[in-house]
Each structure stands twice: as structure tokens, then as C-alpha cells.
Amino acid sequence: MMASSIWTEKSKAWAERGLIEVSMPTETWDDVGGIYGVKKWFDSQLEAFSKKARIQGVPQAKGVLFVGRPGTGKSLLSRVIASRIGYRFVRWDVGRWLGAYVGTSEANTREALELTDTQIPCVIQMDEIAHQVSGHESSGYTDSGVMNRVIEQLLTWLAERKDGTFVVASTNEPWRLPTHLFRSGRFDAVFHIGPPKKDALMAILQIYLRKFNLEEAQLDTMSLGELVDDMARKEFVGAEVEQAIVESIRMAYPRKPTLKVIQQTTSEIIPISVAMAENVQKIEAWARGRAREADE
């Protein structure tokens, strides 16, 4: 069996056990609309990851935290970052490391971290990190102190990790994060990813039109700008733009959807900004003064 096949089989086995998921992403900035501030910040760090910089002992960025409402592309960003650096992509799901028997959770955590070490250089994704490290109150693990010990193992690894690791964490409940995660050195930057502005929405819309072979030329003559204006008024995020396109394709099948159909579908979608209004306001209040704006 070839080395690449062996690596693939091992990766599948680790994922099935819930330890780590490993892949080599190919996504690029072209797959992401907007977030110009994040792109500018990360690209300014990119040279420090080069072989020449490593030889010269240039310190590398260690990680970034993305805060924002669901559907803003926080998970996609971690894959693009891995692709930009040329690192492997390692996904952690701490909740799956927890076991029912004494010592299992700590052993799983230790093994997951050891496996991660074998994948260096790598970008590590911790999606919805607040849920992963805030205690898992409903599970009963908190009372036994298991979650605290798992978190301590993670924090020790993060503090002692080698060059060649970059952590991309995301959350839509930043107020639930342990305060020690914000200690200097854990994350090099914290970004708030809010609803895309009009130019970013246009870029996101065009990404999905291309993805589903619905380029502007195949639509009717109405202006896409009117559709984007409506999406902006409703504070659409990327996931809602995709939902509008997918639903319009189903509605129009077997024909291709016209812009009018997409507009109708858009008008029927209740966005996160409405469905989770209180939570969205809480996210934005937390981010004010604590995080950089991703689109600036």
C-alpha cells in the first residue's frame, strides 16, 4: 500500500474514534467573500511561516479566534488558512474525547494531542470552542472534575506547543469562554465576524452562483444589486445566501432559476438576525471593544 493510502486510512481510523480529523484543504481566499480585515491581517503574517523565516528564528503567529453569529463562514476560514500556509488541517472535537469510564477522557485527550504532534506542521480547528471547553454542564462531567482536567491538558499543550501549529478557534457564545483562554499568547488576534456589507454580499452571491453554475448571464436582466440590497437590509450571512440559491434551484427545477425566483426565495427566509436577535445583539455587545472587525 502506498504511503498516501496508509495515511488516508489512518486518518479515517482516527476520525472514526473521534480523536482528530486530518485533511489537506484546497480552499482559497477566492472561496470567501468579504472579511477583508482578516485577509489583510493573516497575509501580513504569512511570510513568518516560510522556511527562511523559520531558519532565522522569526516568531510565528500561534492562533486566531473568530467571534460571530452562525453562518458567517468561521469554519471555512480555518481551511483557507491551512491551505494558505500549506499545512495539514487537523480538526478537534473535544466533546468526543470524553468517555464514560474513569481515566478515559484524559487518555483520549493525551492520545489526540500526541496524534496532533505527529501532524505538525498543521492548522488546528476548534469550531464552537465555547461548547467544547465551557464545562459540558448537562453531561455531568463537570461535577467529577473530568472536564477541568481535560481543559488543563489542552492549555498545557497550547502553552508548550512547538512552532508549526496554528489554532483557529470560533464561537458564537464568547461570554462562555474561560477567561484564561484570553491570556496573552493564546491568540494573536480576536476578530468579530458580523453580517457582510453590500460589496462582500455581492462577492458571496457570485461565489454561489458560480458554484451552482448560475452565473449572472444565465439569469434575467434584473440587476443583482437589487437582490443584494434586500439581503443587506435583512443582514444575510453567507449561509443564508447559499440557502436562497439552493432553495431557488429546487423551486425552479427542471429549469434554472431566474433572478425573480431567487428574490422570492430570499424574501421567505427568516435570517439569523431575526430568529436569534437577542443572541446576535449579545455577541455584538461582547465584541465591542474586545475584538477587531473582520470587514475593516
**Based on the domain organization, do 78 and 175 belong to the same domain?**
yes
115: Cβ contacts below 8 Å, ≥ 6 apart: 14, 19, 20
Residue 292 lies in a domain: no
Range of the domain at 183: 3-193
Residue indicated by cell numbers 532565522: 56
Distance in angstroms (rounded) separating the CA atoms of residues 49 and 51: 7
pLDDT tens, 231-289?
999 999 999 999 999 999 999 999 989 888 999 999 999 999 999 999 999 999 999 99
DSSP characters for 19-77? SEEEE-----GGG--S-HHHHHHHHHHGGGGSHHHHHTTPPPP-EEEEEE-TTSSHHHH
**Based on the domain organization, do 84 and 117 belong to the same domain?**
yes
104, pLDDT greater than 90 = no
**Based on the domain organization, do 239 and 111 belong to the same domain?**
no
148, pLDDT greater than 80 = no
Distance in angstroms (rounded) separating the CA atoms of residues 97 and 133: 12
Distance in angstroms (rounded) separating the CA atoms of residues 123 and 104: 26
141, pLDDT greater than 80 = no
pLDDT tens, 161-214?
777 899 999 999 999 887 777 776 678 999 999 999 999 999 999 999 999 998
**Based on the domain organization, do 181 and 216 belong to the same domain?**
no
**Based on the domain organization, do 133 and 270 belong to the same domain?**
no
The cell numbers describing 174, all together, are 464568547
Name which residue leads in pLDDT, 130 or 167: 167
Number of domains in the chain: 2
pTM: 0.87
Residue 105 lies in a domain: yes
How many separate helices (H) and strands (E) can be counted in the chain? 14, 7
Distance in angstroms (rounded) separating the CA atoms of residues 199 and 218: 21
pLDDT at 89: 95
**Based on the domain organization, do 120 and 75 belong to the same domain?**
yes
**Based on the domain organization, do 255 and 172 belong to the same domain?**
no
Q: How many CB atoms lie within 10 A of CB 201?
A: 26
136, pLDDT greater than 50 = no
Residue 296 lies in a domain: no
- Of all residues in the chain, what percent carry a pLDDT higher than 90? 55
